[in-house]
């Protein structure tokens, strides 16, 4: 029992710290008082590798005043100390003085710690207590098959508990290997091997977008007609409002298009997870929409909707397929970088074709993007928070350094 309790406590603590670190990262990204190099150092301190565990000494150093320094960080000791002091302040704010754990409202039980029995119609659970041989017996409100690890939740202000059984959808063991994907508008996405998933998607999206644009224009005309008639012929205006400007039919129609697109997105992810069983998936961080956000010719409403749904589906499926640590990565310049010689140039990409201006490498533009996005998973220098322009500097510097060697 103490092992489980300790594990539970450590898990809670670690989660609390990871959440705080995420919050601090956001604050650092928005902090305007730092020069690039100071930001770089701050992110280095907060960095956690995709594989393996965090180097907690870096976090510790923020609080102990000990000096730690990584490679490639061009900042003197007093600069580093300034950054750590800032982080310490921000952590204090985020954590609220010092980390606090509220009184436990729930605890975990493994199958050895409880027994379920019933008398007549009523079901009971007997839970082991800290006194050897003594059990707490709780009558249950319903009858249910109870097995596996449970969580007992103490309800506030009630002399009652809830028993949580995990009835997760079937969860698959984690896969291996890393996959990069490039979200598209003709297919749902292309992976780093160049495979295109669901090329029927483009047509479905286009139809939905055309429908919405066309309807929008027609409705605008009807609204104008309605406004003109409001004074002269109020009865007619009312008729237009009721029969031509309602939402019921529009909703039904939209639903039909929406479901078709969602189906394609679902199928695409199913195919990806079944065929490649990835352990990690790298994809463009969609929280800052840029570049492809204004997808060629698609209505804005449709492209925003599409991104939201795709992200949601990806997160859900990743959970079921035990994909470790989702990989939203900084995809700046990923479509312009040559995967062979790493030269970065907007002219490397021409529509669907990638052709490197330096080494002549030719390939599918979406695949190139997926490969580069995958590479960013382990990039300690280009993180999600590295500013757009800085990314180009880093990439070009690497290109020239490689040449010099
Ligand atoms: Zn090249």
Give the tens place of pLDDT for each residue, 228-267.
888 888 888 888 888 888 777 777 778 788 889 999 999 9
How many Å is the Cα radius of gyration of the chain?
Answer: 28
CA of 395 to the centre of ligand 1 (A): 13
Bridging pattern class, strands 196-197 and 353-355: unpaired
Looking at the structure, do residues 83 and 18 belong to the same domain, yes or no? yes
Looking at the structure, do residues 70 and 40 belong to the same domain, yes or no? yes
pTM score, whole prediction: 0.56
Show the tokens assigned to 219.
Answer: 């409705």
Give the model confidence (pLDDT) of 265-285 as tens digits. 999 999 999 899 999 999 988
Q: How far apart are CA 177 and CA 321, in angstroms?
A: 13
Judge whether 176 lies within some domain: no
Judge whether 129 lies within some domain: yes
Judge whether 321 lies within some domain: no
3-state helix, strand, coil split of the chain in percent (to 5) is 50, 15, 35
Looking at the structure, do residues 110 and 89 belong to the same domain, yes or no? no
Judge whether 60 lies within some domain: yes
CA of 47 to the centre of ligand 1 (A): 30
Looking at the structure, do residues 207 and 309 belong to the same domain, yes or no? yes
CA of 369 to the centre of ligand 1 (A): 14
CA of 120 to the centre of ligand 1 (A): 76
- Mean pLDDT, the chain, whole residue set: 85
Q: How far apart are CA 367 and CA 404, in angstroms?
A: 28
Looking at the structure, do residues 202 and 308 belong to the same domain, yes or no? yes
CA of 359 to the centre of ligand 1 (A): 4
Residue that finishes a domain, picked among 95, 120, 141: 95
36: which residues sit within 8 A by CB, 6+ positions away? 387, 390
CA of 348 to the centre of ligand 1 (A): 9
CA of 221 to the centre of ligand 1 (A): 52
Looking at the structure, do residues 51 and 147 belong to the same domain, yes or no? no
Judge whether 337 lies within some domain: no
Looking at the structure, do residues 149 and 72 belong to the same domain, yes or no? no
CA of 337 to the centre of ligand 1 (A): 8
| Total domain count, the chain | 4
Looking at the structure, do residues 7 and 87 belong to the same domain, yes or no? yes
Looking at the structure, do residues 87 and 138 belong to the same domain, yes or no? no
CA of 353 to the centre of ligand 1 (A): 13
Judge whether 148 lies within some domain: yes
CA of 358 to the centre of ligand 1 (A): 5
Greater model confidence, 123 or 171: 123
Show the tokens assigned to 195.
Answer: 């495979």
Judge whether 64 lies within some domain: yes
Residue that finishes a domain, picked among 95, 120, 155: 95
Mean pLDDT of all residues in 107-122: 86
CA of 192 to the centre of ligand 1 (A): 17
Residue percentage of the chain with pLDDT more than 90 = 35
Mean pLDDT of all residues in 291-309: 71
Highest-confidence segment of 145-154, 255-264, 370-379: 370-379
Q: What is the pLDDT, as a whole number, of residue 167?
A: 61
Judge whether 294 lies within some domain: yes
Q: Which domain holds residue 157?
A: 106-165
203 pLDDT band, cuts 50/70/90, is: very high
308: which residues sit within 8 A by CB, 6+ positions away? none
CA of 362 to the centre of ligand 1 (A): 8
């Amino acid at each position: 029992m103490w092992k489980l309790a300790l594990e539970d406590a450590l898990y809670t603590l670690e989660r609390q710290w990871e959440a705080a670190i995420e919050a601090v990262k956001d604050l650092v990204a928005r902090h305007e008082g730092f020069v690039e190099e100071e930001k770089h150092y701050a992110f280095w301190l907060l960095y956690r590798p995709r594989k393996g565990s965090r180097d907690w000494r870096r976090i510790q150093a923020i609080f102990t005043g000990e000096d730690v320094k990584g490679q490639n960080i061009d900042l003197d000791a007093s600069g580093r100390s300034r950054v750590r002091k800032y982080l310490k302040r921000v952590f204090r704010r985020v954590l609220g003085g010092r980390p606090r754990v509220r009184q436990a409202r729930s605890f975990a039980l493994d199958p050895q710690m409880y027994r379920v029995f019933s008398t007549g119609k009523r079901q009971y659970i007997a839970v082991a207590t800290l006194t050897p041989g003594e059990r707490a017996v709780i009558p249950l409100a319903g009858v249910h098959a109870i097995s596996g690890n449970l969580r007992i939740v103490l309800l506030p202000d009630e002399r009652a508990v809830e028993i949580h059984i995990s009835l997760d959808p079937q969860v698959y063991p984690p896969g291996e290997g890393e996959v990069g994907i490039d979200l598209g508008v003709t297919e749902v996405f292309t992976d780093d091997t160049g495979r295109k998933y669901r090329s029927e998607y483009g047509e479905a999206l286009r139809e939905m977008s055309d429908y919405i644009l066309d309807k929008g224009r027609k409705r605008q005309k009807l609204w104008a007609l309605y406004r003109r008639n409001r004074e002269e012929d109020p009865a007619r205006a009312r008729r237009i409002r009721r029969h031509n400007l309602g939402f019921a039919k529009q909703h039904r129609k939209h639903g039909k298009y929406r479901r078709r697109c969602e189906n394609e997105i679902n199928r695409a992810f199913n195919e990806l997870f079944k065929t490649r069983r990835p352990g990690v998936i790298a994809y463009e961080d969609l929280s800052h929409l840029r570049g492809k956000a204004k997808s060629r010719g698609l209505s804005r409403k449709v492209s925003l909707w599409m991104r939201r749904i795709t992200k949601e589906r990806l997160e859900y499926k990743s959970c079921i397929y035990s994909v470790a640590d989702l990989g939203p990565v900084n995809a700046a310049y990923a479509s312009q970088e040559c995967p062979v010689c790493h030269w970065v140039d907007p002219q490397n990409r021409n529509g669907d074709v990638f052709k490197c201006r330096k080494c002549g490498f030719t390939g599918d533009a979406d695949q190139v993007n997926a490969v580069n996005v995958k590479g960013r998973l382990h990039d300690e220098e280009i993180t999600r928070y590295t500013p757009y322009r800085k990314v180009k500097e880093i990439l070009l510097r690497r290109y020239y350094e490689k040449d010099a060697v």
